[in-house]
Structure 1
Amino acid sequence: MERCSRHRLHHLPLLLSLLLGIATLLHGPIAQLENYHAFADQLTLLGIPHCADVLSNLGFAGVALWGLWRLTPARRTAELAAGWPGYALFLVGLLLTAAGSSWYHLAPDDHRLLWDRLPIALASAGLLAGVWGDCRQRRSAGFAAGLGLAAIFGVLWWYGGALQGGGDLRPYLLLQVLTMLLIPLWQWLYRRPRGERLAFGAALGLYALAKVAELLDHPLAALLPLSGHSLKHLLSVAATAVVVAWLVRRRTAALAADTAPMAPSPTGTHFH
Protein backbone atom coordinates (compact mmCIF):
# COMPACT_ATOMS: atom_id res chain seq x y z
CA MET A 1 0.00 0.00 0.00
CA GLU A 2 2.78 2.45 0.95
CA ARG A 3 4.75 1.62 -2.19
CA CYS A 4 1.65 2.15 -4.35
CA SER A 5 0.95 5.50 -2.67
CA ARG A 6 4.54 6.68 -3.16
CA HIS A 7 4.47 5.55 -6.80
CA ARG A 8 1.46 7.78 -7.38
CA LEU A 9 3.29 10.71 -5.79
CA HIS A 10 6.03 10.31 -8.43
CA HIS A 11 3.56 11.81 -10.91
CA LEU A 12 3.33 14.96 -8.79
CA PRO A 13 6.24 16.82 -10.48
CA LEU A 14 4.66 16.32 -13.92
CA LEU A 15 1.26 17.40 -12.64
CA LEU A 16 2.76 20.48 -10.96
CA SER A 17 4.62 21.39 -14.16
CA LEU A 18 1.45 21.08 -16.24
CA LEU A 19 -0.59 23.18 -13.80
CA LEU A 20 2.07 25.91 -13.70
CA GLY A 21 2.32 25.85 -17.49
CA ILE A 22 -1.45 26.24 -17.84
CA ALA A 23 -1.50 29.02 -15.22
CA THR A 24 1.28 30.81 -17.09
CA LEU A 25 -0.66 30.61 -20.36
CA LEU A 26 -3.83 31.90 -18.73
CA HIS A 27 -2.00 34.72 -16.95
CA GLY A 28 -1.09 36.52 -20.15
CA PRO A 29 2.20 38.17 -21.13
CA ILE A 30 4.59 39.28 -18.38
CA ALA A 31 6.41 42.41 -19.45
CA GLN A 32 9.84 43.46 -18.29
CA LEU A 33 9.82 46.07 -15.53
CA GLU A 34 9.96 49.66 -16.70
CA ASN A 35 13.41 51.24 -16.38
CA TYR A 36 14.84 47.74 -15.87
CA HIS A 37 18.25 48.89 -17.10
CA ALA A 38 18.47 51.82 -14.66
CA PHE A 39 20.62 50.06 -12.08
CA ALA A 40 21.75 51.71 -8.86
CA ASP A 41 25.45 50.99 -9.46
CA GLN A 42 26.80 54.00 -11.36
CA LEU A 43 30.40 53.75 -10.16
CA THR A 44 33.20 53.84 -12.75
CA LEU A 45 36.49 52.39 -11.53
CA LEU A 46 39.64 51.74 -13.58
CA GLY A 47 37.65 52.72 -16.65
CA ILE A 48 34.97 50.09 -15.98
CA PRO A 49 31.45 51.58 -15.88
CA HIS A 50 28.99 50.04 -13.40
CA CYS A 51 32.05 48.36 -12.02
CA ALA A 52 30.47 46.50 -9.06
CA ASP A 53 27.73 45.03 -11.25
CA VAL A 54 30.35 44.00 -13.82
CA LEU A 55 33.04 42.58 -11.54
CA SER A 56 30.62 40.75 -9.23
CA ASN A 57 30.00 38.36 -12.13
CA LEU A 58 33.55 37.02 -12.07
CA GLY A 59 32.63 34.63 -9.27
CA PHE A 60 30.50 32.62 -11.71
CA ALA A 61 33.59 31.92 -13.79
CA GLY A 62 35.51 30.82 -10.70
CA VAL A 63 32.78 28.41 -9.59
CA ALA A 64 32.36 27.02 -13.11
CA LEU A 65 36.09 26.43 -13.65
CA TRP A 66 36.42 24.83 -10.22
CA GLY A 67 33.51 22.51 -10.95
CA LEU A 68 34.77 21.54 -14.40
CA TRP A 69 38.28 20.91 -13.03
CA ARG A 70 37.15 18.72 -10.14
CA LEU A 71 34.16 16.94 -11.67
CA THR A 72 35.04 16.32 -15.32
CA PRO A 73 37.59 13.56 -14.56
CA ALA A 74 34.88 11.72 -12.58
CA ARG A 75 32.09 12.17 -15.11
CA ARG A 76 31.86 8.43 -15.85
CA THR A 77 31.81 7.27 -12.23
CA ALA A 78 28.64 5.80 -10.76
CA GLU A 79 28.19 8.91 -8.59
CA LEU A 80 28.13 11.36 -11.51
CA ALA A 81 27.36 9.49 -14.72
CA ALA A 82 23.56 9.88 -14.63
CA GLY A 83 23.46 13.56 -13.79
CA TRP A 84 26.66 14.65 -15.52
CA PRO A 85 25.20 15.87 -18.86
CA GLY A 86 22.91 18.19 -16.91
CA TYR A 87 25.61 19.34 -14.51
CA ALA A 88 27.99 19.93 -17.41
CA LEU A 89 25.39 22.21 -19.02
CA PHE A 90 24.96 23.94 -15.66
CA LEU A 91 28.71 24.61 -15.36
CA VAL A 92 29.07 25.80 -18.95
CA GLY A 93 26.05 28.04 -18.40
CA LEU A 94 27.75 29.56 -15.35
CA LEU A 95 30.92 30.22 -17.32
CA LEU A 96 28.93 31.90 -20.08
CA THR A 97 26.96 33.87 -17.48
CA ALA A 98 30.19 35.44 -16.21
CA ALA A 99 30.93 36.68 -19.74
CA GLY A 100 27.39 37.54 -20.82
CA SER A 101 26.33 39.33 -17.66
CA SER A 102 29.59 41.31 -17.49
CA TRP A 103 29.10 42.36 -21.12
CA TYR A 104 25.52 43.41 -20.43
CA HIS A 105 26.32 45.50 -17.35
CA LEU A 106 29.00 47.49 -19.16
CA ALA A 107 26.23 49.20 -21.16
CA PRO A 108 22.80 47.81 -20.19
CA ASP A 109 20.16 47.52 -22.92
CA ASP A 110 17.83 44.86 -24.30
CA HIS A 111 20.29 43.74 -26.99
CA ARG A 112 23.02 42.98 -24.47
CA LEU A 113 20.49 41.55 -22.00
CA LEU A 114 19.91 38.71 -24.48
CA TRP A 115 23.47 37.50 -23.79
CA ASP A 116 22.89 37.76 -20.06
CA ARG A 117 19.64 35.81 -19.97
CA LEU A 118 20.61 33.03 -22.41
CA PRO A 119 23.37 31.51 -20.22
CA ILE A 120 21.31 31.98 -17.03
CA ALA A 121 18.48 30.01 -18.63
CA LEU A 122 20.92 27.30 -19.78
CA ALA A 123 22.39 27.02 -16.28
CA SER A 124 18.89 26.60 -14.80
CA ALA A 125 18.05 23.96 -17.40
CA GLY A 126 21.29 22.10 -16.70
CA LEU A 127 20.83 22.07 -12.94
CA LEU A 128 17.28 20.81 -13.30
CA ALA A 129 18.40 18.03 -15.65
CA GLY A 130 21.34 17.06 -13.44
CA VAL A 131 19.17 16.63 -10.35
CA TRP A 132 16.60 14.71 -12.42
CA GLY A 133 19.33 12.33 -13.56
CA ASP A 134 20.56 11.82 -10.00
CA CYS A 135 17.08 11.18 -8.66
CA ARG A 136 15.90 8.91 -11.44
CA GLN A 137 19.32 7.28 -11.95
CA ARG A 138 18.85 7.75 -15.67
CA ARG A 139 21.33 9.48 -17.93
CA SER A 140 20.24 13.08 -18.28
CA ALA A 141 21.65 13.85 -21.75
CA GLY A 142 18.30 13.84 -23.57
CA PHE A 143 16.52 15.72 -20.80
CA ALA A 144 19.31 18.31 -20.65
CA ALA A 145 19.16 18.79 -24.43
CA GLY A 146 15.39 19.24 -24.36
CA LEU A 147 15.46 21.67 -21.44
CA GLY A 148 18.37 23.54 -23.03
CA LEU A 149 16.37 24.06 -26.23
CA ALA A 150 13.35 25.16 -24.18
CA ALA A 151 15.57 27.61 -22.29
CA ILE A 152 16.89 29.12 -25.53
CA PHE A 153 13.37 29.35 -26.94
CA GLY A 154 12.12 31.12 -23.80
CA VAL A 155 14.77 33.82 -24.00
CA LEU A 156 14.35 34.27 -27.76
CA TRP A 157 10.57 34.50 -27.25
CA TRP A 158 11.14 37.45 -24.91
CA TYR A 159 13.76 39.05 -27.19
CA GLY A 160 11.60 38.79 -30.30
CA GLY A 161 8.84 40.66 -28.51
CA ALA A 162 11.29 43.21 -27.09
CA LEU A 163 12.45 44.09 -30.61
CA GLN A 164 8.84 45.02 -31.38
CA GLY A 165 8.50 47.15 -28.26
CA GLY A 166 7.02 44.46 -25.99
CA GLY A 167 8.48 41.24 -24.70
CA ASP A 168 6.98 38.34 -22.76
CA LEU A 169 9.02 36.83 -19.92
CA ARG A 170 6.67 33.93 -19.15
CA PRO A 171 8.77 31.03 -20.54
CA TYR A 172 11.99 32.42 -19.03
CA LEU A 173 10.42 32.90 -15.59
CA LEU A 174 8.59 29.56 -15.72
CA LEU A 175 11.87 27.68 -16.09
CA GLN A 176 13.32 29.42 -13.04
CA VAL A 177 10.21 28.75 -10.95
CA LEU A 178 10.19 25.08 -11.94
CA THR A 179 13.86 24.81 -10.98
CA MET A 180 13.06 26.17 -7.51
CA LEU A 181 10.09 23.83 -7.03
CA LEU A 182 11.01 20.58 -8.77
CA ILE A 183 14.50 20.11 -7.35
CA PRO A 184 13.44 19.76 -3.68
CA LEU A 185 10.32 17.83 -4.72
CA TRP A 186 12.31 15.26 -6.73
CA GLN A 187 14.90 14.90 -3.99
CA TRP A 188 12.17 14.24 -1.42
CA LEU A 189 10.25 11.80 -3.60
CA TYR A 190 13.34 9.76 -4.49
CA ARG A 191 14.74 9.88 -0.95
CA ARG A 192 18.04 11.51 -1.75
CA PRO A 193 20.53 11.72 1.13
CA ARG A 194 19.74 14.29 3.81
CA GLY A 195 23.01 16.13 3.24
CA GLU A 196 22.22 16.54 -0.44
CA ARG A 197 18.76 17.91 0.26
CA LEU A 198 20.16 20.36 2.81
CA ALA A 199 22.87 21.55 0.41
CA PHE A 200 20.44 22.14 -2.45
CA GLY A 201 17.94 23.70 -0.04
CA ALA A 202 20.60 26.17 1.12
CA ALA A 203 21.49 26.95 -2.50
CA LEU A 204 17.87 27.56 -3.45
CA GLY A 205 17.43 29.73 -0.36
CA LEU A 206 20.43 31.85 -1.33
CA TYR A 207 19.05 32.21 -4.85
CA ALA A 208 15.67 33.31 -3.47
CA LEU A 209 17.48 35.97 -1.42
CA ALA A 210 19.31 37.00 -4.58
CA LYS A 211 16.00 37.61 -6.36
CA VAL A 212 14.80 39.74 -3.44
CA ALA A 213 18.04 41.76 -3.55
CA GLU A 214 17.53 42.27 -7.28
CA LEU A 215 14.10 43.82 -6.66
CA LEU A 216 15.56 46.07 -3.93
CA ASP A 217 18.46 47.33 -6.04
CA HIS A 218 18.12 51.05 -5.23
CA PRO A 219 16.91 50.79 -1.60
CA LEU A 220 19.81 48.47 -0.70
CA ALA A 221 22.28 50.77 -2.46
CA ALA A 222 21.16 53.54 -0.09
CA LEU A 223 21.85 51.32 2.94
CA LEU A 224 24.85 49.20 1.95
CA PRO A 225 28.21 49.70 0.23
CA LEU A 226 26.84 47.50 -2.60
CA SER A 227 23.73 47.90 -4.71
CA GLY A 228 21.00 45.27 -4.56
CA HIS A 229 21.88 44.01 -8.04
CA SER A 230 25.56 43.56 -7.19
CA LEU A 231 24.49 41.74 -4.03
CA LYS A 232 22.22 39.57 -6.18
CA HIS A 233 25.26 38.46 -8.20
CA LEU A 234 27.24 37.61 -5.06
CA LEU A 235 24.38 35.65 -3.49
CA SER A 236 23.85 33.77 -6.77
CA VAL A 237 27.56 32.93 -6.91
CA ALA A 238 27.33 31.62 -3.34
CA ALA A 239 24.30 29.50 -4.30
CA THR A 240 26.13 27.90 -7.22
CA ALA A 241 29.23 27.37 -5.08
CA VAL A 242 27.16 25.41 -2.54
CA VAL A 243 25.89 23.10 -5.32
CA VAL A 244 29.35 22.54 -6.80
CA ALA A 245 30.88 22.02 -3.34
CA TRP A 246 28.34 19.27 -2.64
CA LEU A 247 29.03 17.56 -5.97
CA VAL A 248 32.79 17.74 -5.38
CA ARG A 249 32.37 16.38 -1.86
CA ARG A 250 30.20 13.53 -3.13
CA ARG A 251 32.74 12.71 -5.83
CA THR A 252 35.62 12.80 -3.31
CA ALA A 253 33.78 10.53 -0.89
CA ALA A 254 33.04 8.05 -3.69
CA LEU A 255 36.68 7.97 -4.78
CA ALA A 256 37.82 7.48 -1.19
CA ALA A 257 35.42 4.56 -0.80
CA ASP A 258 36.65 3.00 -4.04
CA THR A 259 40.32 3.21 -3.04
CA ALA A 260 39.95 2.29 0.65
CA PRO A 261 41.90 -0.92 1.46
CA MET A 262 39.70 -3.84 2.30
CA ALA A 263 40.10 -5.35 5.74
CA PRO A 264 41.33 -8.99 5.60
CA SER A 265 38.71 -11.60 6.24
CA PRO A 266 39.11 -13.50 9.53
CA THR A 267 39.10 -16.68 7.54
CA GLY A 268 41.01 -15.31 4.62
CA THR A 269 44.48 -16.23 5.89
CA HIS A 270 45.52 -19.83 6.50
CA PHE A 271 48.72 -21.18 7.96
CA HIS A 272 49.94 -24.56 6.88
Structure 2
Amino acid sequence: MLWVDHHLPCGKRTRLWGGAFLCWVCLMLAMPKIPHSPKQHVFADMRNFLGVPNTLNVISNFPFLVVGVLGLVLCLQGSFSAISLRGEVWGWAFFYAAIAGMAFGSAYYHLKPDDNRVLWDRLPMIAFASLFSCCIIERVGETIGIICLFLLLLLALASIAYERMFDDLRLCMLFQLIPCVAIPSMSFVFPPKYTHSRYWLWTTGVYLLAEFEALADRKIYRTNHYIISGHSLEHLCLVMVPVLLSVMLMHRNIKVTRWRLNN
Protein backbone atom coordinates (compact mmCIF):
# COMPACT_ATOMS: atom_id res chain seq x y z
CA MET A 1 0.00 0.00 0.00
CA LEU A 2 1.36 3.38 -0.96
CA TRP A 3 0.28 6.58 0.68
CA VAL A 4 1.58 10.01 -0.20
CA ASP A 5 1.99 12.20 2.88
CA HIS A 6 1.76 15.87 2.02
CA HIS A 7 1.90 16.94 5.66
CA LEU A 8 -0.20 19.79 6.97
CA PRO A 9 0.25 23.15 5.22
CA CYS A 10 2.43 25.51 7.22
CA GLY A 11 -0.46 27.88 7.97
CA LYS A 12 -2.76 25.12 9.25
CA ARG A 13 0.09 23.61 11.27
CA THR A 14 0.77 26.99 12.89
CA ARG A 15 -2.91 27.45 13.74
CA LEU A 16 -3.08 23.92 15.15
CA TRP A 17 -0.16 24.40 17.56
CA GLY A 18 -1.25 27.95 18.32
CA GLY A 19 -4.70 26.70 19.27
CA ALA A 20 -3.21 23.99 21.47
CA PHE A 21 -0.99 26.53 23.22
CA LEU A 22 -3.96 28.87 23.73
CA CYS A 23 -5.98 26.05 25.30
CA TRP A 24 -3.07 25.29 27.62
CA VAL A 25 -2.82 28.94 28.69
CA CYS A 26 -6.59 29.12 29.31
CA LEU A 27 -6.48 26.00 31.46
CA MET A 28 -3.55 27.41 33.40
CA LEU A 29 -5.38 30.67 34.06
CA ALA A 30 -8.69 28.98 34.88
CA MET A 31 -7.21 26.68 37.51
CA PRO A 32 -6.54 28.10 40.98
CA LYS A 33 -3.06 27.86 42.44
CA ILE A 34 -2.35 24.38 43.82
CA PRO A 35 0.28 24.61 46.58
CA HIS A 36 2.08 21.69 48.18
CA SER A 37 0.28 20.00 51.04
CA PRO A 38 2.02 18.07 53.84
CA LYS A 39 -0.56 15.31 53.26
CA GLN A 40 0.90 14.51 49.84
CA HIS A 41 3.98 13.07 51.54
CA VAL A 42 1.95 10.78 53.83
CA PHE A 43 1.33 7.47 52.08
CA ALA A 44 -0.87 4.59 53.21
CA ASP A 45 1.95 2.05 53.49
CA MET A 46 4.90 3.41 55.47
CA ARG A 47 6.15 0.09 56.83
CA ASN A 48 9.83 -0.48 57.45
CA PHE A 49 11.40 -3.80 56.45
CA LEU A 50 15.08 -4.59 57.01
CA GLY A 51 15.79 -0.99 57.96
CA VAL A 52 14.49 0.49 54.69
CA PRO A 53 11.90 3.25 55.30
CA ASN A 54 8.69 2.94 53.27
CA THR A 55 10.06 -0.30 51.93
CA LEU A 56 7.46 -1.30 49.32
CA ASN A 57 7.18 2.22 47.92
CA VAL A 58 10.97 2.23 47.52
CA ILE A 59 11.65 -1.23 46.07
CA SER A 60 8.65 -1.10 43.71
CA ASN A 61 10.74 1.38 41.68
CA PHE A 62 13.39 -1.24 40.83
CA PRO A 63 11.56 -2.51 37.69
CA PHE A 64 11.93 0.98 36.17
CA LEU A 65 15.72 0.59 36.28
CA VAL A 66 15.62 -2.81 34.56
CA VAL A 67 13.23 -1.77 31.80
CA GLY A 68 14.88 1.62 31.31
CA VAL A 69 18.44 0.31 30.99
CA LEU A 70 17.46 -2.57 28.70
CA GLY A 71 15.37 -0.28 26.50
CA LEU A 72 18.13 2.33 26.28
CA VAL A 73 20.73 -0.28 25.31
CA LEU A 74 18.48 -1.81 22.65
CA CYS A 75 17.59 1.62 21.31
CA LEU A 76 21.18 2.85 21.00
CA GLN A 77 22.34 -0.47 19.51
CA GLY A 78 19.66 -0.27 16.82
CA SER A 79 18.00 -3.49 17.97
CA PHE A 80 14.58 -1.89 17.52
CA SER A 81 14.46 -2.12 13.74
CA ALA A 82 11.17 -0.20 13.61
CA ILE A 83 12.93 3.00 14.73
CA SER A 84 13.71 4.30 11.26
CA LEU A 85 14.38 8.00 11.83
CA ARG A 86 17.20 9.73 13.72
CA GLY A 87 14.68 11.88 15.57
CA GLU A 88 12.97 8.75 16.82
CA VAL A 89 16.27 7.43 18.16
CA TRP A 90 16.74 10.62 20.17
CA GLY A 91 13.17 10.60 21.44
CA TRP A 92 13.16 6.95 22.53
CA ALA A 93 16.66 7.24 24.02
CA PHE A 94 15.54 10.17 26.20
CA PHE A 95 12.42 8.21 27.14
CA TYR A 96 14.30 5.11 28.31
CA ALA A 97 16.95 7.18 30.07
CA ALA A 98 14.20 9.00 31.98
CA ILE A 99 12.56 5.68 32.88
CA ALA A 100 15.86 4.42 34.33
CA GLY A 101 16.34 7.71 36.18
CA MET A 102 12.87 7.38 37.70
CA ALA A 103 14.06 4.34 39.65
CA PHE A 104 16.67 6.41 41.49
CA GLY A 105 14.65 9.62 41.78
CA SER A 106 11.46 8.04 43.08
CA ALA A 107 13.31 5.68 45.44
CA TYR A 108 15.31 8.59 46.85
CA TYR A 109 12.12 10.55 47.43
CA HIS A 110 10.24 7.68 49.08
CA LEU A 111 13.07 7.00 51.52
CA LYS A 112 12.17 10.33 53.16
CA PRO A 113 9.21 12.04 51.45
CA ASP A 114 9.29 15.83 51.82
CA ASP A 115 9.19 19.03 49.75
CA ASN A 116 12.95 19.03 49.25
CA ARG A 117 13.10 15.53 47.77
CA VAL A 118 9.90 15.65 45.73
CA LEU A 119 11.89 17.36 42.95
CA TRP A 120 13.53 13.98 42.22
CA ASP A 121 10.12 12.37 41.89
CA ARG A 122 9.37 14.58 38.88
CA LEU A 123 11.60 12.68 36.41
CA PRO A 124 8.51 11.16 34.73
CA MET A 125 8.06 14.63 33.23
CA ILE A 126 11.12 13.97 31.02
CA ALA A 127 9.60 10.65 29.97
CA PHE A 128 6.27 12.34 29.09
CA ALA A 129 8.05 14.95 26.97
CA SER A 130 10.11 12.34 25.10
CA LEU A 131 7.18 9.99 24.53
CA PHE A 132 4.94 12.78 23.26
CA SER A 133 7.62 13.91 20.81
CA CYS A 134 8.02 10.32 19.54
CA CYS A 135 4.31 10.25 18.81
CA ILE A 136 4.56 13.59 16.99
CA ILE A 137 7.50 12.35 14.89
CA GLU A 138 5.60 9.21 13.96
CA ARG A 139 2.27 10.85 13.21
CA VAL A 140 3.06 14.40 12.05
CA GLY A 141 6.66 14.61 10.86
CA GLU A 142 10.28 14.27 11.91
CA THR A 143 11.27 17.94 11.78
CA ILE A 144 8.43 19.23 13.91
CA GLY A 145 8.82 16.22 16.23
CA ILE A 146 12.49 17.01 16.92
CA ILE A 147 11.62 20.66 17.57
CA CYS A 148 8.88 19.55 19.96
CA LEU A 149 11.28 17.15 21.69
CA PHE A 150 13.60 19.94 22.81
CA LEU A 151 10.78 22.41 23.48
CA LEU A 152 8.92 19.85 25.61
CA LEU A 153 12.08 18.93 27.51
CA LEU A 154 12.62 22.62 28.28
CA LEU A 155 8.98 22.97 29.30
CA ALA A 156 9.28 19.95 31.59
CA LEU A 157 12.30 21.49 33.33
CA ALA A 158 10.53 24.86 33.49
CA SER A 159 7.47 23.21 35.07
CA ILE A 160 9.63 21.59 37.75
CA ALA A 161 11.42 24.89 38.43
CA TYR A 162 8.09 26.75 38.57
CA GLU A 163 6.74 24.26 41.10
CA ARG A 164 9.85 24.68 43.23
CA MET A 165 9.99 28.47 43.07
CA PHE A 166 6.30 29.35 43.40
CA ASP A 167 4.93 26.34 45.31
CA ASP A 168 2.38 25.72 42.56
CA LEU A 169 1.62 22.32 41.03
CA ARG A 170 -0.52 23.55 38.13
CA LEU A 171 2.15 23.40 35.42
CA CYS A 172 3.28 19.91 36.40
CA MET A 173 -0.29 18.60 36.56
CA LEU A 174 -1.18 20.04 33.15
CA PHE A 175 2.06 18.73 31.65
CA GLN A 176 1.10 15.21 32.74
CA LEU A 177 -2.53 15.57 31.64
CA ILE A 178 -1.99 16.93 28.12
CA PRO A 179 -0.23 13.82 26.64
CA CYS A 180 -3.08 11.64 27.97
CA VAL A 181 -5.46 13.65 25.79
CA ALA A 182 -3.18 14.54 22.88
CA ILE A 183 -1.73 11.07 22.14
CA PRO A 184 -5.11 9.29 21.75
CA SER A 185 -6.41 12.28 19.75
CA MET A 186 -3.41 12.14 17.39
CA SER A 187 -3.94 8.39 17.00
CA PHE A 188 -7.35 9.10 15.48
CA VAL A 189 -6.54 12.28 13.55
CA PHE A 190 -3.21 11.35 11.92
CA PRO A 191 -2.66 8.05 10.04
CA PRO A 192 -0.01 5.73 11.53
CA LYS A 193 3.36 5.15 9.94
CA TYR A 194 3.77 1.78 11.67
CA THR A 195 1.68 -1.25 12.52
CA HIS A 196 0.66 -2.08 16.13
CA SER A 197 -0.37 1.55 16.72
CA ARG A 198 -3.06 0.38 19.15
CA TYR A 199 -0.30 0.12 21.78
CA TRP A 200 -0.41 3.91 22.09
CA LEU A 201 -4.00 3.66 23.32
CA TRP A 202 -3.22 0.74 25.64
CA THR A 203 -0.37 2.60 27.31
CA THR A 204 -2.59 5.65 27.83
CA GLY A 205 -5.16 3.41 29.52
CA VAL A 206 -2.49 1.82 31.72
CA TYR A 207 -1.21 5.24 32.76
CA LEU A 208 -4.71 6.41 33.71
CA LEU A 209 -5.19 3.19 35.71
CA ALA A 210 -1.95 3.90 37.57
CA GLU A 211 -3.15 7.42 38.41
CA PHE A 212 -6.39 5.97 39.78
CA GLU A 213 -4.38 3.58 41.97
CA ALA A 214 -2.38 6.51 43.35
CA LEU A 215 -5.55 8.45 44.18
CA ALA A 216 -7.07 5.37 45.84
CA ASP A 217 -3.90 4.64 47.83
CA ARG A 218 -5.53 4.02 51.22
CA LYS A 219 -8.72 2.41 49.91
CA ILE A 220 -6.75 -0.17 47.94
CA TYR A 221 -4.50 -0.81 50.94
CA ARG A 222 -7.50 -1.52 53.16
CA THR A 223 -9.28 -3.58 50.50
CA ASN A 224 -6.41 -6.08 50.12
CA HIS A 225 -6.02 -6.32 53.93
CA TYR A 226 -2.87 -4.18 54.13
CA ILE A 227 -0.73 -6.29 51.82
CA ILE A 228 0.20 -3.64 49.26
CA SER A 229 -0.88 -0.01 48.90
CA GLY A 230 -2.31 1.74 45.89
CA HIS A 231 0.87 3.82 45.55
CA SER A 232 3.10 0.76 45.30
CA LEU A 233 0.68 -0.72 42.77
CA GLU A 234 0.90 2.55 40.86
CA HIS A 235 4.65 2.03 40.45
CA LEU A 236 4.16 -1.54 39.22
CA CYS A 237 1.41 -0.45 36.85
CA LEU A 238 3.42 2.48 35.48
CA VAL A 239 6.33 0.20 34.59
CA MET A 240 3.97 -1.56 32.19
CA VAL A 241 3.96 1.61 30.06
CA PRO A 242 7.59 1.21 28.86
CA VAL A 243 7.10 -2.57 28.73
CA LEU A 244 4.13 -2.26 26.35
CA LEU A 245 5.93 0.34 24.27
CA SER A 246 9.00 -1.93 24.05
CA VAL A 247 6.78 -4.76 22.80
CA MET A 248 5.37 -2.35 20.22
CA LEU A 249 8.86 -1.38 19.04
CA MET A 250 9.92 -5.01 18.76
CA HIS A 251 6.94 -6.13 16.69
CA ARG A 252 5.86 -3.15 14.59
CA ASN A 253 6.73 -2.64 10.92
CA ILE A 254 6.47 0.30 8.58
CA LYS A 255 2.87 0.34 7.44
CA VAL A 256 3.11 2.73 4.52
CA THR A 257 5.76 4.49 2.50
CA ARG A 258 5.84 8.23 3.04
CA TRP A 259 7.06 10.58 0.38
CA ARG A 260 8.19 13.82 2.00
CA LEU A 261 7.10 16.39 -0.51
CA ASN A 262 7.33 19.31 1.92
CA ASN A 263 10.21 18.51 4.24
TM-score (norm. length: structure 1): 0.81
- Cα deviations across residues 16-68 of structure 1 (Å, max 9, x unaligned)? 44213312222231233551111011221122111110011111111111211
- Cα deviations across residues 91-140 of structure 1 (Å, max 9, x unaligned)? 111111110000000010011110111x1111111111111111123144
SS in 2 for 1:83: helix
When the two structures are aligned, how many residues end up with a matched partner?
243
- Cα deviations across residues 214-267 of structure 1 (Å, max 9, x unaligned)? 0111111111221010011111001221112212323xx57xxxxxxxxxxxxx
Deviation at 1:171, TM superposition (A): 1.1
Match for residue 216 of structure 2?
216
Amino acid paired to 2:108: W
Larger Rg: 1
The 1:34–1:197 alpha-carbon spacing in structure 2 relative to 1, beyond 3 Å, is farther
The answer on 1:235 being equivalent to 2:244 is: no
**Is 183-192 or 227-236 further displaced after alignment?**
183-192
The runs of 5 or more residues in structure 2 that have no matched partner are 255-263
- Contact 1:126-1:148 at 8 Å conserved across structures: yes
The answer on 1:244 being equivalent to 2:254 is: no
Match for residue 15 of structure 1?
19
2:196 and 2:174 map into 1 onto residues whose CA distance is 24
**Is 236-245 or 107-116 further displaced after alignment?**
236-245
1:79 and 1:137 map into 2 onto residues whose CA distance is 12
Amino acid paired to 2:153: G
The runs of 5 or more residues in structure 1 that have no matched partner are 162-166, 255-272
- Contact 2:85-2:142 at 8 Å conserved across structures: no
SS in 1 for 2:42: coil
1:239 and 1:201 map into 2 onto residues whose CA distance is 11
- Contact 2:126-2:153 at 8 Å conserved across structures: yes
2:44 and 2:140 map into 1 onto residues whose CA distance is 43
1:58 and 1:210 map into 2 onto residues whose CA distance is 16
Q: How does 1:130-149 map to 2 (within 5 A)?
A: 130-139=134-143, 140-149=145-154
- Contact 1:9-1:189 at 8 Å conserved across structures: no
SS in 2 for 1:110: coil
Q: How does 1:139-178 map to 2 (within 5 A)?
A: 139=143, 140-161=145-166, 167-178=167-178
Match for residue 116 of structure 1?
121
Match for residue 95 of structure 2?
90
TM-score (norm. length: structure 2): 0.83
The 1:226–1:13 alpha-carbon spacing in structure 2 relative to 1, beyond 3 Å, is farther
- Cα deviations across residues 143-178 of structure 1 (Å, max 9, x unaligned)? 2111111101101111112xxxxx111111111111
Amino acid paired to 2:182: L
Match for residue 67 of structure 1?
71
Deviation at 1:195, TM superposition (A): 4.8
Q: How does 1:164-203 map to 2 (within 5 A)?
A: 167-192=167-192, 195-203=195-203
Match for residue 43 of structure 1?
47
Comparing both chains, which one has the higher relative contact order based on Cα–Cα distances under 8 Å and sequence gaps of 6 or more? 2
**Is 200-209 or 132-141 further displaced after alignment?**
132-141
Deviation at 1:12, TM superposition (A): 4.9
Match 1:54 to one of 45, 54, 58: 58
SS in 2 for 1:178: helix
